[in-house]
Copies of this chain bind each other. A is one copy, B any other.
Amino acid sequence: MPDPKLLVLFPTPANAGGSGAVPSIVIEHVNEEFTSVCPVTGHPDFGTITLRYAPGAGGCVELKSLKLYYQSFRNEGIYYEAVTGRIRADLAEALKPAWMQVITNWRGRGGIRSVVRADFGPVPTNYLGQ
């Protein structure tokens, strides 16, 4: 069962402070080993989760804790859109980021492959069109 309490945070490093419209530092974690279960058919879904954020009040997410949080979806029956929305909600709550993107990229089902992208906060000027 998805469990945001698994997320561990650490303060943004001192030399990564910033100001103005361009974020000082942007962090991206790409997990190519995500799996959950289709709530209708019970078959597993496989995808890649990309998290991209500019740290805010909550600081940074620790990498191993992020992995364990993602693993907590392993046997959860949940739709693509809900996975994406849930991850955004949990991470936004924890990180309070200046900006965040969650992109879930799913292998094909019935000949159709899907991508769901959820943004949080204003896209920095230098990340437009990405």
Contact = CB atoms under 8 A, between A and B. Distances in A.
Contacts of A81: 12-13, 16, 25, 27, 60
Q: Taking the full assembly, how many copies of this chain does it contain? A: 10
A12 B118 CA distance: 13
Contacts of A7: none
Given A29-B113, A35-B46, 16 more contacts: A13-B79, A15-B82, A15-B89, A25-B118, A27-B114, A27-B116, A28-B114, A28-B116, A30-B113, A32-B107, A33-B44, A33-B112, A43-B110, A67-B111, A107-B111, A126-B128
19 contacts: A15-B85, A15-B88, A16-B85, A25-B117, A25-B118, A28-B115, A29-B112, A30-B115, A31-B112, A33-B111, A63-B110, A63-B112, A66-B112, A67-B112, A126-B128, A126-B129, A127-B129, A128-B128, A129-B130
